[in-house]
Amino acid sequence: MVSFSIPTVDLSPFFNEGVDQDGKKKAMEIIAKACSDYAFFQVVNHGVPLSLMTRALELSKTFFELPIEEKLQSSPCSGGPRPLPAGYNRPEHSAEKNEYLVIIPPGSSFNVYSTNPPDFREIQFIAHFTKTGLLVESILNECLGLPPNFLKEYNDDRSGDAMAALCYSPATDTENNGISDHEDANCFTFVFQDETGGLEVLKDGDWIPVTPTEDAIVVNINDVIQVLSNNKFKSATHKVVKPTGRNRHSYAFFYTLAGYKWVEPLPQFTKEIGEPPKYRGFVYKEY
């Protein structure tokens, strides 16, 4: 059994401007090493109230316990080349048989909330996670040695961000994958999970379980950051292993990039240091 656990980073020094410079330096050192090695860490004192995270999980459990007919009332809208990427879905083609409810931030034309339970509209978790996302983005910006506010100005459109409530059915004798191993395409993802656990990250060829911590948010760095940094920071390989005898509930907040943005290795990590680009440029929505 691998004894390693993903690092935990205290973000409280970043909420006390100019007070705890040593705390900020230590946090950035941990994050920079994690991002260059395997791109997973978790944060505490992150600005998202524990009461809100707990309530969000309660609402998720209530929603997914509803009869399928009621859940389908929150399904994506049709009409167009494909359904909108929001609302309730349970992919019938997938052997994993997971359920999810994707919630698009207010202000987007694709905004979808479930009206049952109605409290989904009342808890402002997306606003809190967006604020924490801006903080983590600024920390990554500094860890990469980029000019001040570079990533914030480059990634200035938050309309593509999304929160997904996820429900994984119990493992069976023949299948225990919640999600097979993969990397996410966006900038980075926040995850908080119930006490069931199941999230694992690949490090040095071993799968490391991410033990649930009540007040922690897991952060995984994704493909956009890997490409921009020309592999200086890695995209996290991860998966979910289903529990036995119970459902697993979690949330994933995808801090992403507007579809029209151009993505390519930045000159700071290529021509300015004499390194060839490892990726060709692309428009994000095409990727």
For the cut 80, the answer to whether the pLDDT of residue 97 exceeds it is: no
For the cut 60, the answer to whether the pLDDT of residue 80 exceeds it is: no
For the cut 50, the answer to whether the pLDDT of residue 72 exceeds it is: yes
- What does residue 168 show for φ and ψ, rounded to 5 degrees? -110, 125
pLDDT tens per residue, range 195-254:
998 999 999 999 999 998 889 999 999 999 999 999 999 999 999 998 888 889 999 999
pLDDT tens per residue, range 102-151:
776 554 444 455 566 666 666 678 889 999 999 999 999 999 999 999 99
Residue 117, preceding bond cis, omega within 30 degrees? Answer: yes
For the cut 90, the answer to whether the pLDDT of residue 74 exceeds it is: no
For the cut 90, the answer to whether the pLDDT of residue 32 exceeds it is: yes
| Core vs surface per residue 46-71: b (16+ CB within 10 A) or e | bebeeeebeebbebbeebbebeeeeb
For the cut 80, the answer to whether the pLDDT of residue 285 exceeds it is: yes
Residue range 8-49+124-283 in CATH 1.20.1090.10:
no
Say whether pTM exceeds 0.75. yes
For the cut 90, the answer to whether the pLDDT of residue 277 exceeds it is: yes
Which of 236, 187, 233, 227 is CA-nearest to residue 208? 236
Mean pLDDT (the chain) is 86
At 25, the pLDDT band (50, 70, 90 cuts) reads very high
Domain residue ranges of the chain, discontinuous segments joined by +: 8-49+124-283
For the cut 70, the answer to whether the pLDDT of residue 176 exceeds it is: no
For the cut 80, the answer to whether the pLDDT of residue 61 exceeds it is: yes
Contact call for residues 155 and 254 (beta carbons, < 8 A):
no
- Which stretch of 91-95, 154-158, 193-197, 210-214 has the lowest confidence by average pLDDT? 91-95
Q: What are 117's two structure tokens?
A: 């339970």
